[in-house]
Structure 1
Amino acid sequence: MAETVEERREAVVEAALGRLGLDAKARLLAGQDMWSLPALPEIGLEPLVMSDGPIGVRGVRWSADDPSVALPSPTALAATWDPGLARRAGVLLAQEARRKGVHVLLAPTVNLHRSPLGGRHFEAYSEDPYLTGRIGAGYVTGVQSGGVGTTVKHFVANDAETDRFTVNNLVSERALRELYLAPFEAIVAAARPWGIMTAYNSVNGTTMTEHRHLVEEVLRGEWGFDGINVSDWNAARSTAAALTGGLDIAMPGPRTVYGPALAQAVRDGEVEEARVDDAVRRVLRLAARVGALAGAEPAVTEPPGAVDGEALAREIARRSFVLLRNDSGALPLKPGTVALSGAAARDARVLGGGSATVFPARTVSPLDGLTAALPEGTLSYTVGADPNTELATAARGFDLRAVCRDADGHVIGTRDAPDGHVQWMGTDLPDGVTHATLHTVELTGTFTPRESGRHTFGTRGVGAFTLTVDGTTHFDGIQPPVEGDPFGAFFGGPVPRAEVELTAGVPVEVSLTRVVDRAAGRPMPVITFTLVHQEPPRDPDELIAEAVAAARDADTAVVVVATTERVESEGFDRGDLRLPGRQDDLVRAVAAANPNTVVVVNAGSPVELPWREDVAAMLLTWFPGQEGGAALADVLTGAHEPGGRLPTTWGALADAPVTRVRPTDGVLAYDEDVFIGHRAWERAGRTPAYPFGHGLGYTDWAYESVEVDGTTVTVRVRNTGERAGREVVQLYLAPGEPGADRPARTLAGFACVEAGPGERAEVTVELPRRAFEIWDETAASWSYVKGSYEIQVGRSIEDRRITAAITV
């Protein structure tokens, strides 16, 4: 029998492994810098380059001068309930990765929304493991169809940010299996990912980079995963324990627990060289798959056809928007005048903060989108309320460049800095610049204000700074590090340093100089700091009064409310679910002035909406990506229907069943066991504001029949409205006798249909075996629970329309 391509690829891997000595093997398992593994020319191995995702591909440069397509947030992608659309998103990201010379995308994030207070939930998909697994599998399949690897993360139970480097999460084996491991297992089975990333946290006393049971016995043993296991950045703590625990790659470098330390551990007899070989074999297999190992045929020889990134970003956005409320057909907009308000309508927040940040070449704000879509003269805009109480990156109105100088003050290199942000890691420096010669970096250029008044300037970062505005030095001193977070310099808050009276339209010179810090002990040299700015503050009551006056005179009022980077970002959890600033007051005041008020909610995860019964319509747009404003115009005008359904329950924090994200004495107990999300809301007998799966459209649907053949379910629906539409048919499985330890019902299947007015559509869904199983902790295995079940079909977990019985 002829060898398969995979067998030939493995033969090349084995041959390459056999030509490597111990030092080369150990070096290959350690990052050579922030984003890559070293080349080994002696075996034809290129450097393997990794990049953060998940909504774009940033590449090796964390800078706005290297733009990337920015798709909607993962919560938005999950809200489409469309694995096929997730696959198309993955294909685009593979295209972006190849454009930037990236072999491996550090995505997707498939941790669960255990508590609504999780600060990074915008970067994960859902509270539901089945939905998460389906969307994640589509995403991974799409990326890898383009010949680019993925690392499904963060394995496992990395569901909050507080003390994320040290927290010990206590999770029952059943909760691990039925909830937190379930998306990873589903993706391994359906998409065969080429990588996994282990998390910072510990699970049941063992840090995940050393968790032999979960990595070697479950992930690799039971599931048959054959890809690489890379640490989250700086997560690896011990050489021998990490290798024994199944960690293949310690990132970043060059200072890691692998490399020379690993070679020495082998020579000292602390670990077996065979384990090193196993890890290197997996790394070489990845290199072969992505085309970075000479002589091995890559997994993809002909990448998919080109994808229009802007068009796909716009499509995903509008299909993710969830119409939460639509009284009296307030949407689509009727002909007439529209009063738009909200700071986020003008300065859109299109993505979440932290390592998920990318820099799109353009962003379309709600104001931009509606201005282009509505007849001239029908749209007015007022700020109304600004949730941004902190200084933001120096982008709007700034024209800046970074100037590098040596110790003698000579210019040795320059680079554009479009948003006042410098983040250079390892060898990512301007041409002609080296860390040995670099002494200072100056952000310098002009600022042209769009408003007159007292502007605030400041700094973000760590080190010695000098800030000058319009010829006057306002700060010359040290900004100390943030205690307790090694990434404080990356994600820490801004510090105001100067207030300067400026005139709208009149440019001034600005300069922020930072002396390079040469502190020892870091994994690699990093230069990161930001010039930040805030426009002149205005009286909040005056801003609201202006919005009310405009709304009173308009046919429709549209208010955009939003969270900020200090609410939803990496590195911290949320303290509450309230909208920041005076945004709630703005909505109440505008709604009182105009009964036809539409509220657009620009947030990546749940917020409280205390005025929701007082407005005509509410549209949730998540973090909608770079084309969000254009997609918003598509939906508000009725050119397209909002297609999204909630992937996570939305409700008041006081009612939320699971809220604890802060550990006690380093320990966070998952006492709720298998009851999170909709499972927990239902068990507690609490009614959320909007249930899991909820979402309205611009047409109506009748659920006409459901038929069951074995575990195959066929559902027929009919569009009873006056326009074409899209429906997400959801199937929930309810055991006849759930008992106290099983959810009353779980999501067991779903499918999307489209139909014109009066047309019928049919979907067929195969119920997975796992829907009928629970984890038996005594037997340490899955138990197939026989008996009677009810299949409940509908539009959300609460809006169940028709049922059928099934016995297994």
Structure 2
Amino acid sequence: MTRLTLEQALDLVTGADLSRTREVEGVPSLTMSDGPNGLAMNLPDFSGKVPATCFPSPGALAATWDIDLAEKVGSAIAAEARAAGADVLLAPSVNIRRSPLGGRGFEYYSEDPALSGAVGASFVRGVQSAGVAACVKHYAVNSQETDRMRVSAELDDATLREMYLTAFERIVRDAAPAFVMASYNRVNGTYVSQHRELLTSILRDDWGFDGAVVSDWGAVDDPVAAVLAGLDLEMPGPALGSRAALTEACIDPAVRSAVLQAGERIAAAARRWAGVEPADVDADAHHHLARSVAASSITMLTNDGVLPLADGTTIALIGALAVEPHRQGGGSAGVHARTHDDLVAELTARTTSTVEFAAGYAFDGDDAQHLRDEAVELAARSQVAVVVVGPGEGADTEGRDRETLTLPAAQLTLLETVFATGTPTVVVLNAGAVVLTEPWSHHACAVLAWWLPGEAGAQALADVLTGAVEPAGRLTETIPLRLEDTPTAASFPQPGHAYHAEGLLVGYRWYDHDERPVAFPFGHGLGYTTFMYGEVALLEQSPDEVVVEFSVRNVGARTGSEVWQVYVGPSDPQRHRFRAVRALAAFGKVVLGPGEERVVQAVVPARAFERWDVTRSGWVCDGGAYEIQVGASSRDLRGHVVVQRDARLPEVVLDESSTLREWLTHDRLGPRLLDEAAAADLSGGTTAFLTNPIITLMIGDLPIRRLFGDPSQALSRELLHETSRGLGRRRGPRW
């Protein structure tokens, strides 16, 4: 390939318009489209969007805990993208659900980085296997919608690496996405689009990313700083001001080199991904897949035996959301669905039961007494009531965070009055993320989380209610008892600066740390059968992984699926008081017939035993005893085994900002520093100063550059640099 000229590179590093890159000689244009839950491609005249399959929201997809389904969905969306002429799919979104109030929680997979990374990697593999480039987003720490264009996420390096970057790292290492999208926000004061540590040091140097980095739309604050930091493409175009600024700045050789390098990356991506032959789209097959995912995502929180519904009963279907459900979240990723289904028709078609409908409440939230009276009258003369409730369409959207986790007052009053009839009641929650289930859930005979189910949601719910399909979903986010119990209750959202004071204790890590009571724990979900676990045994271990073995047996009367979950934590949690007592390390889903038993071999990666050490700038294993726990949720643990791991402690990386104490206590550099001091100052004064315990006590935490920096002193900066030369950052182990 001929190398780009500077003019060509300048053309390529800024977009052509809202969705396309520029075309230059030998380099075709790339067309980009949103689409975490289906193709969201604008029509050429922007009068609407291309009709496409509306899959369940990403949060619902993750609730299946099924990575094979995630790959199939990615492949299906990519096929529709290719058929419509899109080369790049702006998905998946793998930010962490820091708070259940996050308005875009529906688009993110989980409060847990291991689950998010596994589902996201499978989705990317599916997309790219179908000939479309995947763009994982929003890198990084994009956890709130409030002030999202400029808010600065303030957090320490350990929290950044372990909680907010882990999913991205997993996807980059395992699935090799073609693009990574730099988010709007700042991290510790610097816009991500010009954050060299994030875009180059971590993403490329540490993780080995060799694709291209694109900005979120309008996220570039300083185009010159951005390209120097490692951004390759500013979107949208034409961005004439940015091009002019870059052209002028190219007098600087560093800027010129960065522009040429960025242009080459965009050119490589365009040559690889643009113009692949369109795939045939089987819309019926994709609709069937959407139905399967929706059913697999439905999460049954409680059931006293009322489900599945008995055939031939009279069913009161109540709730405006039952016939006009919130099928997807709001914002740029909205899909123009080809079709929508109807729950009344679907239930009627699957059963000999009589199904009657009453709205029960108004969409605008008004307390419509007549609607409630009609619903209560219907429930009173029916054998079972199915009440569909939820926060409504405006609660789950890009651009705005939620204000509450509580259902609208009119819906709570409706539930109370329906419960009072004495008719067995099933409550169905139509929401993109969790809502509070207290104090009403114990009055319900069953509670189902329907999530945002996509175009085939009614078919899926009818399948589950009638027992044609089991509810196979599991919670990807803890349901708290109260909003006040959440780790960010006092600090979310925050405009300007979002201080992540909870650190690593996000989601279930927070609740489990002090055994705080919750409504329903992370990983929880019931089916129409039950499972028993056998003892957990250590099968093998190596520096890279640990393999444990256990059996899962279906002890119920019908076929069902179980999501087994493996958690890892230190045997003595007091060793790390501000770390999780357990964290998800592995998971899988098994389908078993009645009485069937299967032996599971779960692989726990070395990373599960490691933490990010700030002083070493690397992953370390403290060594000692770790407990591997196996169960059906973070609170339903059925067995465990203790393993011993060897310590893996890379040398501390020292520089002029390291403290005197860190230098003196370093295993290798401490003695070397004293030797250098003795050789540089034959009077012995410097050595006496460094070895005086009173001095260490009083000023040991002082950065060493404040003590020694003058070239005339015994320990000059050049000598300190020479002493520390050769220390480097250890790369993380494989997953």
TM-score (norm 1): 0.76
Alignment-derived partner of residue 211 in structure 1: 195
Q: Do residues 778 (structure 1) and 615 (structure 2) align?
A: yes
Q: 2:487 pairs with 657, 662, 666, which one? A: 657
Alignment of 1:120-139 (within 5 A): 120-139=104-123
Tell which deviates more after alignment, 198-207 or 281-290: 281-290
Alignment-derived partner of residue 717 in structure 1: 552
CA shift, 1:620, in A, is 0.4
| Cα distance per residue 1:724-777 (max 9 Å; x no partner) | 000001111121122302211111111110111011122221101100000111
Q: Do residues 693 (structure 1) and 523 (structure 2) align?
A: yes
Alignment-derived partner of residue 355 in structure 1: 332
The answer (yes or no) to whether the contact 2:83–2:278 under 8 Å persists in 1 is: no
The answer (yes or no) to whether the contact 1:573–1:661 under 8 Å persists in 2 is: no
Alignment-derived partner of residue 289 in structure 1: 272
| 1-structure distance, mates of 2:583, 2:240 | 43
Alignment-derived partner of residue 604 in structure 1: 432
CA shift, 1:270, in A, is 7.8
Q: Secondary structure at the match of 1:688?
A: coil
Q: Which has the higher helix share?
A: 2
Q: Secondary structure at the match of 2:568?
A: strand
CA shift, 1:685, in A, is 3.1
Q: 1:64 to 1:715 in 2, by over 3 A?
A: farther
Alignment-derived partner of residue 707 in structure 1: 537
| 1-structure distance, mates of 2:59, 2:37 | 11
Q: 1:755 to 1:256 in 2, by over 3 A?
A: farther
TM-score (norm 2): 0.84
| 1-structure distance, mates of 2:80, 2:492 | 37
Q: Do residues 734 (structure 1) and 575 (structure 2) align?
A: no
| 2-structure distance, mates of 1:333, 1:67 | 37
Alignment of 1:477-488 (within 5 A): none
What is the root-mean-square deviation in Å for CA atoms of aligned residues?
Answer: 1.8
Q: 2:387 pairs with 545, 553, 559, which one? A: 559
Alignment-derived partner of residue 58 in structure 1: 40
Which has the higher Rg, Structure 1 or Structure 2?
Answer: 2
| 1-structure distance, mates of 2:493, 2:355 | 49
Q: 2:354 pairs with 359, 378, 395, which one? A: 378
| 2-structure distance, mates of 1:679, 1:304 | 44
Q: 1:121 to 1:661 in 2, by over 3 A?
A: farther
| Cα distance per residue 1:138-192 (max 9 Å; x no partner) | 0000000011011111110000111011111111100011000000000011101
Alignment of 1:137-148 (within 5 A): 137-148=121-132
The answer (yes or no) to whether the contact 2:299–2:448 under 8 Å persists in 1 is: yes
Q: 1:162 pairs with 125, 134, 146, which one? A: 146
Q: Secondary structure at the match of 1:26?
A: helix
| Cα distance per residue 1:52-91 (max 9 Å; x no partner) | 1100111133655621111001111111111111001111
CA shift, 1:661, in A, is 5.4
CA shift, 1:302, in A, is 10
Alignment-derived partner of residue 369 in structure 2: 541
Alignment-derived partner of residue 322 in structure 1: 299
| 2-structure distance, mates of 1:732, 1:197 | 30
| 2-structure distance, mates of 1:702, 1:743 | 26
The answer (yes or no) to whether the contact 2:147–2:495 under 8 Å persists in 1 is: no
Alignment-derived partner of residue 641 in structure 2: 804
Q: Which has the higher strand share?
A: 1
Alignment-derived partner of residue 592 in structure 1: 420
| Cα distance per residue 1:191-243 (max 9 Å; x no partner) | 01100001111001100000001110000011000111111110001121011
Q: Do residues 48 (structure 1) and 30 (structure 2) align?
A: yes
Q: Do residues 338 (structure 1) and 315 (structure 2) align?
A: yes
CA shift, 1:328, in A, is 3.1
Alignment of 1:503-514 (within 5 A): none
| Cα distance per residue 1:541-584 (max 9 Å; x no partner) | 11111101101111110001122232111111111111235111
| Cα distance per residue 1:574-609 (max 9 Å; x no partner) | 111112351111112112213410011000101112
CA shift, 1:357, in A, is 0.6
Unaligned 5+ runs, structure 2: 646-735
CA shift, 1:663, in A, is 6.0
Alignment of 1:484-523 (within 5 A): none
The answer (yes or no) to whether the contact 1:333–1:636 under 8 Å persists in 2 is: no
Q: Do residues 615 (structure 1) and 444 (structure 2) align?
A: yes
Q: 2:461 pairs with 632, 636, 643, which one? A: 632
CA shift, 1:627, in A, is 0.2
Alignment of 1:157-556 (within 5 A): 157-255=141-239, 258-267=242-251, 269=252, 271-292=254-275, 308-375=285-352, 378-389=354-365, 540-556=368-384
Alignment-derived partner of residue 24 in structure 1: 8
Q: 1:330 to 1:638 in 2, by over 3 A?
A: closer
The answer (yes or no) to whether the contact 1:240–1:270 under 8 Å persists in 2 is: no
Alignment of 1:783-798 (within 5 A): 783-798=620-635
Amino acid at match of 1:357: G
The answer (yes or no) to whether the contact 1:95–1:306 under 8 Å persists in 2 is: no
| 1-structure distance, mates of 2:338, 2:197 | 44
Q: 1:665 to 1:91 in 2, by over 3 A?
A: closer
CA shift, 1:24, in A, is 2.2
Q: 2:63 pairs with 65, 68, 79, which one? A: 79
| Cα distance per residue 1:477-511 (max 9 Å; x no partner) | xxxxxxxxxxxxxxxxxxxxxxxxxxxxxxxxxxx
| Cα distance per residue 1:613-649 (max 9 Å; x no partner) | 0010011010001000000011000000011000110
Q: Do residues 680 (structure 1) and 497 (structure 2) align?
A: no
| 2-structure distance, mates of 1:114, 1:695 | 21
Alignment-derived partner of residue 576 in structure 1: 404
Amino acid at match of 1:734: G
Amino acid at match of 1:626: E
Q: Secondary structure at the match of 1:767?
A: strand
Alignment-derived partner of residue 506 in structure 1: none
The answer (yes or no) to whether the contact 2:569–2:609 under 8 Å persists in 1 is: no
Higher relative contact order structure (alpha carbons within 8 Å, sequence separation ≥ 6): 1
| 2-structure distance, mates of 1:103, 1:589 | 53
Identity of aligned pairs, percent? 42
Unaligned 5+ runs, structure 1: 1-11, 293-297, 390-536
